[in-house]
């Protein structure tokens, strides 16, 4: 069964550094998402992406965040200047239509 992949699985960075989280969605999917989960809390929506542009973003997704689909396969989330409170698990998801959203295994980000 096809699956969403994410790299790296873990990343440790210093406060103020830029990080790029990478995702490879399922190949025929059209809708892409990023979510995050702070330890012990629920999963929160960050941004959705369709037709090479952001379709919706949450208030968490401020100017420090950006997303890109640089080629036909990758979908990236960039955090320009990380803060301690950005420490979380970041999930990428994709879907083909109005059905199942498929989630990747997540990237655990720790900001020191």
Given the structure tokens 């969403």, which residue do they identify? 4
Interface residue with other proteins, options 48, 79, 86, 87 (CB under 8 A): 48
Q: Per-residue x/- marks for other proteins, 72-91, CB under 8 A? A: -----------------x-x
Segment near other proteins (CB under 8 A), from 17-25, 63-71, 75-83, 92-100? 92-100
Q: How far is the CB of 2 from other proteins (least distance, A)?
A: 13
Instruction: End-to-end CA distance of the chain: give it in Å, rounded.
Output: 37
For other proteins, the binding residues (CB under 8 A) are 31, 33, 35, 37, 42-45, 48, 50, 56, 58, 89, 91, 93, 95, 97-103, 105-106, 108
């Amino acid at each position: 069964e096809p699956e969403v992949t994410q790299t790296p699985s873990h990343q440790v960075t210093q406060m103020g550094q830029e990080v790029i989280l990478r995702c490879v969605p399922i190949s025929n999917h059209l809708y892409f998402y990023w979510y995050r989960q702070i330890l012990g809390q629920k999963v929160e929506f960050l941004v959705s992406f369709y037709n090479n542009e952001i379709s919706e973003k949450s208030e968490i997704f401020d100017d420090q965040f950006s997303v890109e689909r640089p080629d036909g396969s990758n979908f990236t989330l960039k955090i320009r200047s990380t803060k301690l409170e950005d420490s979380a698990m970041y999930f990428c998801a994709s879907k083909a239509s109005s059905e199942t959203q498929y989630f990747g295994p997540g990237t655990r980000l720790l900001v020191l």
